[in-house]
Structure 1
Amino acid sequence: MIPIIKSVILNCIRDKKESLFMIFFPLFLILLIGSTLSAYFDSSNTSFEEVAVYYFDESSDKSKEVFNIFKDIELDNSKIVLKEVKDVEEGKKEVKVNRNIFIHLKEDTIEFYSNNQSTIKPSLIYGILNGIASKYNAAAEVYSINPLKANDIIKVEDSKGFIEDEKVALNERPSSMDYYGVAEIGLMIFYFLMLPLYNIKNDRKNSIKDRISLAGVSTSKYYFASFLGFLIYSFGTLMITYTLSNILFDINYGENLLIVPLAMIPFLIIVIGIGIIIPMIFKEEEVSGSIISNVIIPVLTFLGGGYVALGDNLGSLLDFITKISPLRWFNISIFRYIYSGDNTTLIRWLQIGGISLLLVMLIIWIVGKRSDKINEKYINTN
C-alpha cells in the first residue's frame, strides 16, 4: 500500500500547475473578497445588550448559594436580567421559541439550557456559572478537609472571589479578512474532490489499476491507499495555504493555531471519500464530475457561507438546510471556538469526521470485495 500512497502523492505534486492553483487561488480569493466586503463587516454592530436568563428554583442550599453569587455579579459589557418561570416546561419553551437561556436549579445541580442557534451570550453565562460552581466546590472541599486553615488557603474576601474576572472585548469578532480566511480555505477543500475523480480515471485509461491488480493488490487496498494518498497531499497543500494566509494577511485563527488544521481533517475525509467512492461505483466520470463541479460544489459552498457570510440566527428551517454543507460545520466549529471559546461544535464536527472515515473504509471494502469477485468469475470462465 505504501508504494501506491507515494505514487499518488508524487503524481499530484508533479502537476505543478494544479498544485500552485490549489495553494494560491484561495489566497487570491481571501484578498479579493475580504477587502471588497470589509465595509460590510465593519458596519456590523456586535454588542452585548440585555441578556434574559430564565430560571426555575428547586434548589438545595448548595446550588442556591452558587446561584446567589451569580446574581450578585455585575458585568461591564452586558446586562443580565433574571426572570423566574412557573415550571420547567415554560423555561424550555423560552429556549426553543425565543432563543433565551434557561437555568433549572434542581437540588444539588444546575441544569443549563440554551439554543444552539445562539452562541456568544450562552457561552458567556455558562462560563460564569461554571466558574462559580468550580470555585465553590473547591472551597467546600478545602473546608471539609481542614476547616481551621481553609480561610488562609482560599483567601476569599467576598463573594466575587469565587470567579476570576475577565472582560470580554466587544471588538472580538471576525473582520472580513478573518471570516474569508477560514471560509475560502473551506471552499478550496471542495475542489480537492476532483483530484481522485480525474486521477483514478487516468489510472484506468493507462491500465495502471490493472497492473496493480496483477501484482496481487486487492481492489480495496488500491482504493484505500489512494484515499490516504490524496488525503495526505490535500492536507499538506492546505497547510501551505493556511500558513501563507496567516503570514500575509495576519488573519485571526485563534490562540491555538492547530484548531483550523484539526477542523480540516473531517472536511477532507468527507470530500476525498466521496471523490474515491464515486468512480468506484459509477464508470461515467465525465458526467459525475460535471455535476459535482457545476452544481453540487457551488450549492454547498453557498449554503456553507463561502460566498456570503451567514450568521448563527437563520431560523430553524434554513439552519437545518445549511448544515447539509460540510463548509457550514467547518466555519461554525472554528468561529465558535475562536470567538466564544465554545468547542462543542468542533467536537461534534470531529465525531462526524470519525464516523465518515469508518463509512468510507466500509464502502471501499464492500465495493472492492464485490469487484474482485466479479473479476475472479470472469477469469475462471476460461
Structure 2
Amino acid sequence: MALSASSHAQPSDATGVLVFADGSVVWGRGFGKVGSAVGEVCFNTAMTGYQEVLTDPSYDSQIVTFTFPHIGNVGANEEDHESRGLGAVGCIVRQEVTPHSNFRAQQEFVDWCAANGKIGLSGVDTRALTRMIRKGGAPNAVIAHSPRGAFDLDDLARQAAKWSGLEGLDLVPQVTRGVLEDWRGGHWQLGHGYGEHRNEKPHVVAIDYGAKDNIFRNLARAGARVTVVPARSSLDEIMRLKPDGVFLSNGPGDPAATGEYAVPVIKGLLERDVPLFGICLGHQMLGLAAGAKTAKMFQGHRGANHPVQRVGGGWGESEGLVEITSMNHGFAVDGETLPEGVEQTHVSLFDGTNCGISIRGKRAFGVQYHPEASPGPQDSFYLFEKFVGMLG
C-alpha cells in the first residue's frame, strides 16, 4: 500500500492507520496490539535487531519506521529483549509480516507485538515516509489497529495534535526501575544463554534512566559488580553504596527536563571526583552538568551503521579512527556550547554533531552512541573496559 499522507479514503483491506496532527492519513494493515497510541514518528535504518530496537526504553513514546523492508521474518524469542514491557509504542513496516524462519524463534513477531503492547502497521511505503521525515522532521501521530477497520479519524487527529511532543518531556519516571537491583546477568553465548558473573570489585552504581540490559552485561563482562538504582536516587543514597564509579544510562525524553533532578546529582558526583561514564541520555546530562546545552534534533539518529570519528580526548595514535556505531537519539549536546575544560572527543561523520565528551581533570566521559550495540556493530565495546579499567 503506497504512502498517501493526504487521502482519507479507506482501502477495503485497511485494518491499520497512521494519523498525523494535521489530519493527514497513511493506511495499512494492522497487526499486534489492538487499539491506538500517540507518539513521535521516527525511522531506524538497522537491518537486524528489530526486537532489541522495540524493547529499548529510549524509544518510549515513539513509533519506529523500519527502513529495512523485511521485519519479523526471524520471529521473536525470550533472549533478545532489552527491557520488559518498555520501548516503542508501535512500528511501521513495508512488507506484510511472514511466518518466522529462524532456529532461535519461539514466537511469531505479530504475536509477540500483541503480547508486548506494540501496535504494528504493514504495507506502508516506508521509503516515502522516511523521506517525508527527513524533509519535514519527526512528526507527531497516532498509530491505530482495528481488525474491523473501524477508525474515528477526526478523534485520532485531535489526539495527535493535542500531544505535546518530546521536547520538554521527562519520560524517565515511566521507564526507570522502582527499586535497587544487584545485576547478575552475564554475557550471552549461543547455546548457553546468559551466564552469571561473580565480580566483586570494582563496584559500579548504574543510574537507570531507561537502560538497555546489554549495557549492564557489558559492564559485568568488563569486570565490574553492578548495582542498578532508580533515576531519582539522591546523591547520599548513591554514595552510601560506596561506588568505585557511577554509570549514567540511556533513556527517553528531553535531557533538559530529566536534568532538573538528575543534573544536581551528577554535579555532586563530579565534585566528589567519582568516575563517571554516560551513554546517550546519560551523556547528554553529563554535558548539562558540565555546563553545556542540549538541543532537539531535526530528525535524530537511529540505526546500526553510524560512523563516528575520534577527534580529541587523548586517544594518541588512534585519534582520527572511525567507529561504526549504533545510535538512537533525538536530542544532542550542542558542541558549540562546550565550556572551558570540557573536550569534544567524538563527532558524527553524518552531520558533525557531538558524539562524545570528556572533562579535564576528572575521570568522567560520555558518548552519544550505544557502545553496547544490541543491535549493531561491536566496534565500541572497548569503552566499557576503558571505564572499568580506570576504577582500579
TM-score strictly above 0.5:
no
Per the normalisation by structure 1, the TM-score is 0.24
The answer to which structure has the higher helix fraction is 1
Radius of gyration: which is bigger? 1
The answer to which structure has the higher strand fraction is 2
Bigger relative contact order, structure 1 or 2 (CA pairs below 8 A, ≥6 apart): 1
